[in-house]
A and B are shown apart, each in its own frame.
Chain A
Amino acid sequence: MNNEITGAEIVLKSLAEQGVEVVFGYPGGAVLPIYDTLFKQNSIKHVLVRQEGGAIHAAEGYARSTGKTGVVLVTSGPGATNVVTGLTDAMMDSVPIVCITGQVPQHLIGSDAFQECDTTGITRPCTKHNYLVKDVNKLSSVFHEAFTIAQNGRPGPVLIDIPKDVQFASGTYEEKNKIIIPSHRLFEPSPDFEKNKIEEAVELISKAKKPIFYIGGGCINSGPMASKLVREFINMVGSPVTMTLMGLGVVGSSDKNSLGMLGMHGMYEANMAMHECDVMINIGARFDDRVTGRLDAFSPNSKKIHIDIDESNINKTINVDVPIIGDVKQVVEKMITVWKEKKFQIDDKALKLWWDKINKWKDIDCLNYNNEGKQIKPQYAVQRLYELTKNTKTFITTEVGQHQMWAAQFYKFEEPNRWLTSGGLGTMGYGFPAAIGAQVGHPDALVVDIAGDASILMNIQEMSTAVQYRLPVKIFILNNEYMGMVRQWQELLHGGRYSESYTDSLPDFVKLAESYKAVGLRAKTTDELDDVITQMIETKNTVIADIWVTKEENCFPMIQSGSAHNEMMLSKDQKQDKKSAEKGKILV
């Protein structure tokens, strides 16, 4: 038939119709037909990474900074297994990803063929859905469904495994609007049922004397309008608001209502307010264990409202009083309408008392650190980075560990989608490839990966990618020669026995940068810091800035595992009681 095209062509045509502009990938035997088709077209750009793990984190960074779906293309076997970490990361942090993997031809499946693995089997628990496409005529409908599923409801990664013979076979292409996806395969909120709940929730808020909004990444996934509405609603109520690691930027750091981040390394005032509030409004967060601390002591006297698009998050770890299943934007929009219609007004007097109390907690100044001497404190490095970049359109990514928490504490985010960090899975090696993805999506913006010396080495090979595509990504390493967070836990919980947490034989990061034809900079003292940061920003090239920071600095404040919100450690000197420390040791 004349209108038949090859499977590989169907793949590219589907991507084009879905509006895909860029694919992050790495070729191999089982995807050669797709790469061949890619070669013959100009509409979709391909970014060649240096390891497949880099491709999927780059796609995550692209997706989270642009709000679009990130696309990954890798080969069978090791190509597929190398993306498993990234898929799990995207699953945990609800990032829309479509990952295309090649597979050995169908007649070889099950024969332990070269570079064969059970990709759909391996990735089943770490994807929202996956497909093994055996019929070329179903390829386009699978693609269109995959993109819808990746974005619909709670977003997540979807994988499409395509045997090589299907890529070569001829079949017909079906357009996006011809595909009907059965409703049970998608999330559809039920507006009528939730309406009562919304009224109940708004009324509860109006009667609160000590309210707090607890904002999560769901607000960011719901789109920029959602953040706007959330801000508007919080302003109408006049309530304090705290954000999770994933929710930073939903409400601006400088907003008068913002108490900053909560949780294990969150702000003292945010955690105390969570503990003592009488009405908690959770919007798009999931009561993660980093946030709640000990469950039986979690906000013991509050009525809890929980807005989540994923019903399985309701009552999973914390029982709530008013659950609302739905998209943040739609729900908050309705809440605002109800608030206005019913002319609700919060008890001003009670609210003032509540703020007075919170301001007293603020006076403790929990982020205070000793900044004496010429040695650079990691906190100070992040503060200076913020001061020198705050007037530029800046995206911050991080790896995982102490530097990540210092970035969250000391870098001030005013807008959503500017902060990209691996929250749920805690993937070291995420930040640099994610920065590459963010830079691809925003060529003119400043993209900085705040990294640690240990994390950065996990995907350092992507230097080659950054330089090849002239991506001026900045890697800002807080170098203390330790796996800092591991060392901190060993200090606090394992008698200071620093088992394998010191990194001997680190590379010379300046020379490392230069060997990739990038720029390497170094700051050893506070006198050099501002110059290095300024030079880093002004350099139109990939930069590694190696910032030598004090080696044994700890990240405070901290709720130790197994402790409650009102049991925060503000410094090392404030010892936790031994019994709960022992209990906490077995937790993660």
Chain B
Amino acid sequence: MNKSVYASPDQVSETKRHILTVLVDNEPGVLARVIGMFSGRGYNIDSLNVAEVSNDENISRITIVTHGTSEVVSQIEKQLLRIVPVHSVTNLDQEGSSVEAEVALVYIYISDTNKKKVYQLCDLYRARKIENENNTTIFEIAGASERVNRFIKEINEITKVEIVRSGPVAISSIQKNEEE
């Protein structure tokens, strides 16, 4: 609604976080089409995740976390559907309940003084140490973004870290019949 230069500023509903899941043909340029639509029309991408989900049919699933008013998000959905290789767009917040998770890999700088605290915290959050050839301390934590956020905040208070996050992926948790 407020995309037009002629829009009235007083007609705005609440801005919320939305997770959109987009099924697309896995063909060259399809990701560029999707993200180009966002940047071209001035929408936000908070995080983006894409991977092939079915080898035989050549379909990828793109999970996009965005924020906006319900009018803006509904416009985003419709604009996504105009893209030729897009199969479907689902707004998981409108679907009802959904499950979301993300993965973070955390390189933790460890010294003798903070070692104990680090391992305690990792235990608490069930962050798993990943073995690697250089024997550096890299932990993997998976779960809802909130939980990953909390872990990162707390570990940051203990020591220096480097972080990479996948951004959330999500799926509807509503029961479906197998034929569907």
Contact = CB atoms under 8 A, between A and B. Distances in A.
Nearest to B88: A184
Interface string A282-308: 000000010011111000000000000
Nearest to A129: B84
Contact of A316 (B3, B32, B85): B3
Given A312-B79, A316-B75, A319-B1, A587 B6 contact: yes
A132 B28 contact: yes
Interface in A109-131: 120-121, 124-125, 128-130
Nearest to B9: A296
Given A311-B78, A316-B75, A121 B32 contact: yes
Contact of B82 (A296, A312, A314): A312
A310 B75 CA distance: 12
Which residue of A128, A292, A296 has the most chain B CB atoms within 10 A of its CB atom?
Answer: A296
Interface in B21-43: 25, 28-29, 32-33, 36-37, 40
Contacts, number: 63
The residue in B1, B4, B85 that gathers the most chain A C-beta atoms within 10 A of its C-beta is: B4
B7 A295 contact: yes
A534 interface: no
Contact of B32 (A124, A310, A562): A124
A547 interface: no
A124 B40 CA distance: 11
- The B contact surface, by secondary structure, is mixed
Nearest to A125: B40
A317 B3 contact: yes
A588 B86 CA distance: 33
Contact of A315 (B32, B33, B74): B74
Interface residues of B, number: 29
Contacts of A523: none
A343 interface: no
Contacts of A312: 75, 78-79, 81-82
Nearest to B40: A125
B75 A120 contact: no
Contacts of A130: 29
Interface in B47-101: 71, 74-75, 78-79, 81-82, 84-88
Nearest to B87: A184
Contacts of A317: 1, 3-4, 6-7
A310 B6 contact: no
Contacts of A296: 8, 10-11
B165 to A, nearest CB: 28
Contacts of A315: 1, 71, 74-75
A22 interface: no
B5 interface: yes
A185 interface: yes
A263 to B, nearest CB: 12
B78 A562 contact: no
Contact of A293 (B6, B7, B32, B78): B6
Contacts of B71: 315
A587 B4 CA distance: 10
A185 B84 contact: yes
B22 to A, nearest CB: 12
Interface of B: 1, 3-8, 10-11, 25, 28-29, 32-33, 36-37, 40, 71, 74-75, 78-79, 81-82, 84-88
Given A124-B36, A294-B6, 17 more contacts: A121-B29, A124-B32, A125-B37, A132-B29, A184-B87, A185-B84, A292-B6, A294-B8, A295-B6, A296-B11, A312-B78, A312-B79, A312-B82, A314-B78, A316-B75, A317-B7, A588-B5
11 contacts: A120-B29, A129-B84, A289-B5, A294-B8, A311-B81, A312-B79, A312-B82, A314-B78, A315-B75, A587-B5, A587-B6
